Every structure is written in C-alpha cells, then in structure tokens.
Amino acid sequence: MRATIMYGAGDVRVENVPDPSILQPTDAIIRVIRACICGTDLWLYRDMPGSETGVSMGHEAIGIVEAIGRDVRTLERGQVVVMPYASSDGTCEFCKEGLPTACVNLGIMSYQGLNGAQAEALRIPWADGTLYPLDVDTDDARMTSLLTLSDVMGTGHHAAVVARVAPGRRVVVVGDGAVGLCGVIAAKRLGAEQIIMVGRHPDRLALARELGATDIVSERGAEGVERVRELTRGYGAHSVLECVGTREATLLAIEVARPGGAVGRVGLPHYEAIPGAEQTFWKNVTVGGGVAPVRAYIDELLPDILEGRIEPGRVFDRAVGLDGVPDGYRAMNTRESIKVLVSP
Amino acid sequence: MRATIMYGAGDVRVENVPDPSILQPTDAIIRVIRACICGTDLWLYRDMPGSETGVSMGHEAIGIVEAIGRDVRTLERGQVVVMPYASSDGTCEFCKEGLPTACVNLGIMSYQGLNGAQAEALRIPWADGTLYPLDVDTDDARMTSLLTLSDVMGTGHHAAVVARVAPGRRVVVVGDGAVGLCGVIAAKRLGAEQIIMVGRHPDRLALARELGATDIVSERGAEGVERVRELTRGYGAHSVLECVGTREATLLAIEVARPGGAVGRVGLPHYEAIPGAEQTFWKNVTVGGGVAPVRAYIDELLPDILEGRIEPGRVFDRAVGLDGVPDGYRAMNTRESIKVLVSP
C-alpha cells in the first residue's frame, strides 16, 4: 500500500510500504477514507533531522474497519470509525476517568513505532478502546466535520474546557490555526459572551468571525495585550485558549488572563518552563491543559456535528489525494492553506 | 506606640512610632491583641537590602476596633475582628466573585505604605470589606486558631481548593512550614484519603502526623519523587499543595502529580518561570493558586474552628511580647520555631 513518510525537514514522500497486519489480538486494521495534515506535523516538517528510515506521518483519520484481532468485541468489518490521534485501552483507570491520553497503554499514532494515517491503511492498537464507531455512510456530507473529532475539534474543546469557558465568560483564543478556529467553535458552543481571536492571517481571521469570534486582535506582544485589555474593560479574559505552543504565545495568554482566570494550553509546548510564574501567582491564574483526551469528548461533540449545530470541517480549505500530500505540507507550511484534507 | 520595623536582613527592631490615625472615611484603627510572624516575613529577614526608613512588619492579626471613619457601616468600637493580610473594599466585582486579593482597591498589610501588625495598633483601609467581626472574648481559648484565619489557615485551604482536594483523593503537601501544616488540616477537612507530607523537620513532621498526614517523605529531589510514586501506586497524587515557593519545590510538586491532577501553589514564587512545561502538558496537570483570598474563606472555615473540628492554632509553638519579636524572627529563621505568636 501507499503511505506518507517524512525523511527530514521539508522531505515528505509518498511511498509503497508493506500492508499493515494484526499484531495483537486487540488490534484492528482500518482502511483510511479521510485523513489530514496537522499543524503538529509542521513542527517536524520544519525541524526534523535527516533520517534513513523516516517517520510514517498522520494521526487523524476516518476509516473503515478491514480486519480485527480475535479479542476485539465492539467492532466488525465494514464499520465506519473515527480514529482519535492516540490509542487507548478504554479500560484503565485513566480511560475510565476521561483521560485516555494518560492511558497506561497509550500510543500516539505515527509516533512510537506506530504507522501513520496519511496512508491507505493502518493498524490500530487497542481497537475497542480507541476507535469510535460512526453511524454514517462514507460519502456523508458531514465527513470533514466528523474527521475533526480525531484531533482538532476535540483539542480546541479541551482548551475551552480547561480554560473554564461558560456562559457569560470573556474568552481569548491565541492562534488562528485549525485548533484555534475549533477553539472559537468550542467557546461559542459553551456559551462565551465574547470571543477575541488573536491572530494575523486575514483568511483565517475572516473564518474565525464566521465561526463566532466577536473581536480580532492582530497586534503583537505588549500592544496585543493592551488591545485585549481595552476590549475586556481593562481586566482581561476569564478564559484563554493557548493554541500555538510557543513561549511568546503562552506569555501572551497569561498576560491577557483576568485575575482568577484560566489558561487552557493545547499548543505542543516548544519551551521548557511556563513564563510568568509571578504574574500567574499574583493574579491567581490557573494554567492547565495538554494532550487533549479527544476520544473522551466524542460523546459530547458528535451530536452537535450530526445535527449541524457546529461545522468544524470548515477549517479544511484544500483537498488532495495521497499523491498531493507533499504539496499539502508545503501549502500549510507557507500558510497558503489552513488545513489540508487527504482522501487516499 | 510601639511597632516592629525591619531595616535590612536580620535587622528587626521594635521602636516607638506615631500612633495610627484615620486617613480615609472608610478606615478603621485596630488595637492588636494577637499578631504573629509569617514565613513570608523571613524572605525579607534573609534578603532585605539595608533601608534607612525600614519596613513596618506583620500582616496577620486579631484586634479590637478602636476608631472608625465616618463611612464605616458594619463595625463599631470594641468589636473583636480578624484582620486578613490583604485589605479589600468588599464591593468590587473581584470581591463579589470571592477573589478579594484581586480587589481593585487591594492593599497588602505592611507593604505598599501600610503599617504592619507586629505593633500595638494599625490603620486598616476599607475596614468594612477587610475586617471580619468575631463573636468572641479577647481571652477566648480558640484565639490562636482564629488568628490563623488572617493568613496561614486560609492559605493552606486555598492550596487545597486549587489542587481540587476532595473525598478519596491522594494528596501531597510540599513544605512543612505553618502553611504546609495548615494544608494538611485543609486536605483532611476536605476528605482526602491519603495525605503525604514532604518535609525534613522532625518536630514539624510529628505535628503533621497529628494533624492528619498519613505518610511522610523526607527524601530530596528524584528520590523524593520516587518515594511518593511508591506510596501512590506508581501514578502520583491527584492534588499537590506547593507551600514553599522555590523552583525546586514547584518542580517536585509537578513531578509527583498524577496525570490529570492539579498543583495548588501558595508559596510566594522565588522563580521566574514554572518548570516542567512539557511534563505538565503530557500529564495534563493543572498549575494554579497564588495570593490566597483568605477573607473569602472565613465564612467556611470559622465554624470549624469555633466548634473545635480544626485547630490550626497548633502551628504556634512559641509566644512572645512585642519586645520578643526580634528573637522570634531569629527562632523562625533557624527553624527553632514553626510559628511565633505575638501578644503586644
């Protein structure tokens, strides 16, 4: 079969690789019908040292179950499923507590020796705990929105939950990528009174407005902080969604938080320490978040997608086949595209 | 009147100073009947650069109202009151939200030009919002426990609340000072199943056990982390109370937190950035806390003191008059004493 392999910064190739096979009795094989490229993949695309073996890319998919191991109980061949980016056994105490990304059998798809989803098929460990069955046809019009349940919509929602978005709250979303845009959807869905998007890409900001952002701030650093303060009666926001992952974005998130407020971090941190130790202390600002337990959020988010109340699939602005994946990386990396849909 | 002035590291003097007087119509003057020395005061005692004018010390007191400004409505002369360490107007939106330490008229007693409480008397700004009336006599046996409502008991409770202590939770308290010991009381009061005290002073650890600690860890660094993990089935604690304020203590707090857990920081931070940005992210550990809104907690904690269910006054192990204050600083700084009571 064909799969996407990254061999180093900027070096993405679609190649023939061995077909996946059941290795454990709890595995399933899915045929990928929709996948996509993630902002997280771009970190590697920019910085990955050269590798002879490469990394199998992609951690978001909707697929059809093609084979199951002998211990798989909840799935059968032909079932349409969402594949969350992390595999989890569904039975450990963390899974039961709603934190499958702390599963004692956690795997992150495309890393840790697992194959990626920008491919025709892949093996899924702990299939019962990981895959979420969908009652839709493969040509369903809501397919792109359903695909976001595998990562970006659940991740934006996680940021909003950790940042304690609730009716009447003033919210800032830092970062206008796909996760930030899903953060806007999540904040609106949870009843935010004001949603301030901090970003600088006109096309993304226009989409943010359509998805529910009430204000846009494009100034950087201290000017951006000042602008958010002006928009929030001088006090800052109750809830801040950090959807970038840099030290600068995190510091901005903390600076625009209102005393007693909360920052939800979902941008993969590219910094060693969380800035603002004194500022968070004097303001009693809580900093939380992390790898989003998207599998646990599907129950809550799925009905809103099926019934058309949210359309996170709108973050996709380009569609390619597998052969178009390398150009998809290029387009996302140059910001020509927000998020690229892949139909193998 | 006589008051405690610090002129530099290790240089604490009790001197004659002008009597306080009403400056604003919302002020009150209290005569101090009990005050104390705080671990926070020791930071200055160790590091304060020399000063000709000095700093008026002390931010914890029980007093008797001696005079009130013309706009004070809820107090009268002779009323016994708790003085929280921070003054707050009681009417701004932060006060109403239960975060008086973010009051738009916030003052921290003994700082920001305010007089300190290790004195015969002091002026209290925003007396209606700040002082909390007590229905007790000045010789009440519970006086030392009531005094802790001005800071350490409310601060330990804040750490526990932010760290989400609840029935069944495993809790770690980092720091065996008065705040950490009050954190043990708070954790037990909130129903913790296991309370692990991390500290190294035998007298304090013995008291911690009496107050409710179920386990003691005295190892430092990686060994301490390993020991806590052993005590928590390998996963770490749901709730960690950081009651020291150093980078090392904060890193330890993060390292012993269970995935999905929470750290409540109440040690005044002597570090610029919160360590463990990646670890908190991968574990989804929330880091919160800060200057404790102790005024807002008195309603909840007072009945437990009055009815004898908690005795935070047990953290006092030495009592002095005003003249004994300099020696009290010395005794706390050398760890001869946990917390020193001052009866002017």
Residue from B164, B101, B108, B68 nearest B296 by CA = B101
**Scanning every residue of chain B, which has its alpha carbon at the shortest distance from the alpha carbon of A260?**
B99
This prediction's pTM: 0.97
Taking the CA of residue B247 and the nearest CA in chain A, the distance in Å comes to 10
CA distance A121 to A14: 13
- What pLDDT sits at residue B115? 94
250-279 in chain B: CB under 8 A from chain A: 250, 259-260, 262, 265, 268-269, 271-278
Q: Taking 90 as the threshold, does the pLDDT of residue A300 lie above it?
A: yes
Check A280 against B274: CB less than 8 A apart: yes
Identify all chain B residues contacting A282, using CB atoms and an 8 Å cutoff: 290-291
Q: What is the DSSP letter of B126?
A: S
Check A273 against B277: CB less than 8 A apart: yes
- What pLDDT sits at residue A113? 86
Q: Which amino acid is at A186?
A: A
Arithmetic mean of pLDDT, A107-132:
96
Taking the CA of residue A280 and the nearest CA in chain B, the distance in Å comes to 7
Q: Taking 90 as the threshold, does the pLDDT of residue A112 lie above it?
A: no
Q: How do residues A19-60 score in pLDDT, each as one tens digit? A: 999 999 999 999 999 999 999 999 999 999 999 999 999 999
Q: Are B188 and B208 in contact (CB under 8 A)?
A: no
SS3 of chain B: helix, strand, coil, percent, to 5: 35, 25, 40
Q: How do residues B294-317 score in pLDDT, each as one tens digit? A: 999 999 999 999 999 999 999 999
- What pLDDT sits at residue B251? 97
Check B101 against A284: CB less than 8 A apart: yes
> Measured between CB atoms, which of B102, B259, B281 is closest to A99?
B259
Check B260 against A291: CB less than 8 A apart: no
- What pLDDT sits at residue A298? 98
Taking the CA of residue B277 and the nearest CA in chain A, the distance in Å comes to 5
Check A281 against B291: CB less than 8 A apart: yes
CA distance B338 to B344: 19
- What pLDDT sits at residue A81? 98
Please provide the distance, in angstroms rounded to a whole number, between the alpha carbons at the two ends of chain B.
Answer: 10
- What pLDDT sits at residue A183? 98
Q: Which CATH code fits A2-151+294-342?
A: 3.90.180.10
Q: What are residue A301's phi and psi, to 5 degrees? A: -90, -30
Taking the CA of residue B76 and the nearest CA in chain A, the distance in Å comes to 32
Q: What is the DSSP letter of B217?
A: E
Residue from A257, A264, A296, A295 nearest A279 by CA = A257
**Residues 6 or more apart whose Cβ sits within 8 Å of residue A292:** A101, A151, A154, A155, A157, A158, A159, A266
Q: What is the DSSP letter of A22?
A: -
* SS3 track for A260-288: EEEEEECCCCCCCCECCHHHHHHHCCEEE
24-63 in chain B: CB under 8 A from chain A: none
Chain A interface, mutation test: which of B274, B279, B295, most A Cβ atoms within 10 Å? B274
- What pLDDT sits at residue A220? 86
Check B272 against A272: CB less than 8 A apart: no
Q: Taking 90 as the threshold, does the pLDDT of residue A182 lie above it?
A: yes
CA atoms within 13 A of residue A60's CA, in its CB half-sphere = 28
Q: Go through B250-281 and write b for each residue having 16 or more CB atoms within 10 A of its CB, e for each that does not.
A: bbbbbbbbbbbbbbbbbbbbebebbbbbeebb
> Measured between CB atoms, which of A268, A271, A281 is closest to B290?
A281
Q: Which CATH code fits B2-151+293-342?
A: 3.90.180.10
**Scanning every residue of chain A, which has its alpha carbon at the shortest distance from the alpha carbon of B286?**
A288
- Going by pLDDT thresholds of 50, 70 and 90, the confidence category of residue B10 is very high
Q: Which CATH code fits B153-289?
A: 3.40.50.720
- Going by pLDDT thresholds of 50, 70 and 90, the confidence category of residue B113 is confident
Model ipTM over 0.90: yes
Check A99 against B277: CB less than 8 A apart: no
CA distance B248 to A89: 35
- Going by pLDDT thresholds of 50, 70 and 90, the confidence category of residue B112 is confident
Which H helix or E strand runs over A143? helix A143-147
Average pLDDT of every residue of chain A: 97
Check A282 against B290: CB less than 8 A apart: yes
Check B259 against A102: CB less than 8 A apart: yes
Q: How far is CA A280 from CA A260, B93, B244, in A?
A: 9, 19, 16
- Going by pLDDT thresholds of 50, 70 and 90, the confidence category of residue A135 is very high
Chains A and B form CB pairs within 8 A to the count of 109
Q: What are the residue boundaries of the structural domains of chain B, listed by start?
A: 2-151+293-342, 153-289
Q: What is the DSSP letter of B48?
A: P
CA distance A223 to A134: 46
Q: Taking 90 as the threshold, does the pLDDT of residue B283 lie above it?
A: yes
Residue from B142, B120, B175, B174 nearest B301 by CA = B142
